[in-house]
Structures are given as C-alpha cells and as structure tokens.
Chains A and B, each alone.
Chain A
Amino acid sequence: MKHSALLAFCLGFALAIGACKKEETTVTPTPASLYDRVGGTAMVNDMSNPGTMIEKGRLTLRSVVDSSIFVIAADPKMQPYFPTLLGEVTKGDLTGFAKLSKNFTDFMCVATGSKNYTYGGLNMKAAHDPAINKRIPMKISNADFDAFVGDIGTGLAKNGVTSANNAQLVTDLVALLNTTRADIVQK
C-alpha cells in the first residue's frame, strides 16, 4: 500500500515536471515591432539637434518623414492637403515643415510600436472628415491616398530603403499605412 502511494506520488511529480517542461518549450518570443526593426530605443546623437540624444527608431522615422515632406510639397496632387507647408512664416515662428515633421513623426512612432512617444492629434476618421475637422478642405479619394503612399515610398527610397534592397520593410510600412486607409478615404 505504502509502495503504491509512493509510486503514485513519484508518477504525479514526474508528470508535473514534464508538463512544466513542455510549457517552457512552447513559449514563443514576441516578434520585434516595426519600431524596433528601424532602430528601436537605442540612443544615438541627433545631428539635427546638436548636443541631444534621440532614439534610433525615431531618428530613422523622422528622416523618412522629412524626405517624404519634400516629395509631398512638390506633388501637385498633394498640394490642396498640405498648403501650410509652403506658407512662409515670420522669423521666430514655427514653420509648417517643423510642425508636420514633428507631428507626423510622432504618429509614425506610435503606429510602429514605440512606447516612449505619444500622438496627441485627432483620430484618423475624425481628422479626415470635413464635417468634423474644418481644416480638411475635401474628402480624400483612394487615388489621393495612393499618391500619398507613393510619396512616402519615394521618401523611403531617398533614405536608401527600396523594394529591391529591403522588400519586407517596405511591404510592412506600406501595409501599416494601408491600415489607416479605411478611416482616411471617405470619398
């Protein structure tokens, strides 16, 4: 009787250990966020802001955003949506470029999975509805959105990222932008 109780205990213990081991082996690592893949939280010098450090992920995204802003400003299809980019402000005032660069970078940081930045703007649906947001001159069409995504692609290419050398990153970034399409395109 004693022996069978001991045997049952040992068997139960072995099963419990086995179960624990099995659980350990099935743990899968969390996939790296897009933000991590473009540099993550590693701190680097910010060449545009001497003496300050910046997360590498944010620096990469800001660089792409800034390049894309040039492309957008030179794109007649985008002009109705970004007039403030070209409106000259007086010395000492924040320019449209600085505002768009900062706020679009904030948005991209949050969208790609950064934990240390916030985007304080309206949600995408409300922001692009002329009935709610008076700053939007008209509803946005699929063609306009495609042109916008194309301009971001050109901005990426200006930073050395193309479908030829980093297809996965380009695909994932375009997919990320496309997650906002349903909210932004309202025409």
Chain B
Amino acid sequence: MILNRTRSLRRILMLSSLACVVFCGIALVHIYMVVPADDGYVNSDIQLARIDFKQPLETEEFDRIEGFVRSQHGVTQTYFNKNDRILVYAFHNSQQNSADVFRALSQNTPFKAERFIPSQESMKNGCPVGGERSASLFRRTGKFLHKIFG
C-alpha cells in the first residue's frame, strides 16, 4: 500500500517536472520568436554631454571651442546653441567621458564654463518616447536567447 503510494507520488512528481520543462521550453521558444534579434538600437554607446558658457563669446570663439571639443578622442559630433551659449557634444562612452573632455577644455582654453549634470531627481522624469522597454526581463531574455542561438 505504502509502496503504491510512493510510486504514484513519484509518477506525479515526474509528470509535474516534465510539464514544467515543456512549459518553460515553450515559453523560451515563444520569447525567442517574439523578441526581435535586433531591437533597432544603433550607436547604443553614443552619449550626449553639455557645457554651459558663462560669458559672451565671439563668432571665432564659438568655432575655437567647438573645434577643440570635436578634436577630442571619441567625440563624434557637436552642436552649439549660440543664443544660450550651450554646447552639446556626442561621444562614444566606451572611449571617452564628459569629465575628461571638460577638464581638457578648461585647461586649454580661457573660457568660463560649467559642465551640466542633470540631477538624480530630474533623471526620474522625461519624455515618454525615451522609453524603457529594452530593460524588461522579457526583452532581456529574448536578447540573451538570440545571443546564444543567433
């Protein structure tokens, strides 16, 4: 009697385990198929940074500043809002960081400037099309599966 019970319990456990494995397998195949291999993100390491200038600037000074920043290693693009004296530049964050660019600018040019760093509080806000979808577990699992199976 006890032996029979043990056998049926073992059978139930085996069947349950099998069902779990099959379910997980189907779920992973589903995730693999639904999540695209490439999320469409390009230049995913391109970081923007901003420097605010605290003094009036002449046309040639705008050019000098922009030229200096653009010549820094890893910097790909610059844009100067001349009305507000705000410089925005892009760089590969695998090759450069904004602190070093600002330090180099301060040491090599005489202009009064300030590195703009958004507060942690403000970072919680932002335009909804900024999107956080890529961070979901579902997507990360899909990306992981694509990395393994191609």
Instruction: List A residues at the B interface (Cβ < 8 Å).
Output: 46, 48-49, 52, 62, 69-71, 73-76, 79-92, 94-104, 106-107, 120-122, 127-128, 133-137
Query: A-B contact count, CB below 8 Å?
Result: 146
**Partner among A52, A88, A106, A128 whose Cβ is within 8 Å of the Cβ of B97:** A88
Partner of A99, one of B38, B49, B125, B131: B131
List 6 additional contacts besides A90-B93, A103-B131; criterion CB under 8 Å: A52-B38, A69-B48, A73-B48, A85-B130, A88-B98, A95-B47
Which B residues between 49 and 78 are near A, CB-CB below 8 angstroms?
49-50, 77
How far, in whole Å, are A83 and B130 apart by their CA atoms in the complex? Answer: 10
Nearest CB of chain A from residue B34's CB, rounded to whole Å: 12
Q: How large is the interface on B (under 10, 10 to 19, 20 to 34, 35 or more residues)?
A: 35 or more
- Which listed residue, B47, B116, B117, B131, touches A121 by the CB 8 Å rule? B131
Set of chain A residues within 8 Å of B148, measured between Cβ atoms: none
Does B123 have its Cβ within 8 Å of any Cβ on chain A? yes
Sorted nearest first, the 8 A-B pairs with minimum C-beta distance are A127-B128, A74-B81, A70-B79, A103-B131, A137-B125, A83-B122, A83-B118, A74-B88
Residues of B within 8 A of A136 (CB): 125-128
Chain B residues within an 8 Å CB radius of A85: 48, 126, 130
Question: Within the complex, which residue of B43, B126, B132 is in contact with A83, where a contact is CB–CB below 8 Å?
Answer: B126
Cβ–Cβ contact A96 & B128, under 8 A: no
B residues within 8 A CB of A48?
42-43
Are the CB atoms of B48 and A70 closer together than 8 Å?
yes
| Residue pair A99, B123 in contact (C-beta under 8 Å) | no
Q: Are A74 and B50 in contact (CB under 8 A)?
A: yes
26 contacts between A and B (CB under 8 A): A49-B42, A70-B88, A80-B125, A81-B127, A82-B127, A84-B123, A84-B130, A86-B50, A86-B116, A87-B118, A88-B98, A90-B93, A91-B45, A91-B93, A91-B94, A94-B134, A98-B45, A102-B41, A103-B129, A103-B131, A107-B129, A122-B128, A135-B127, A135-B128, A135-B130, A137-B122
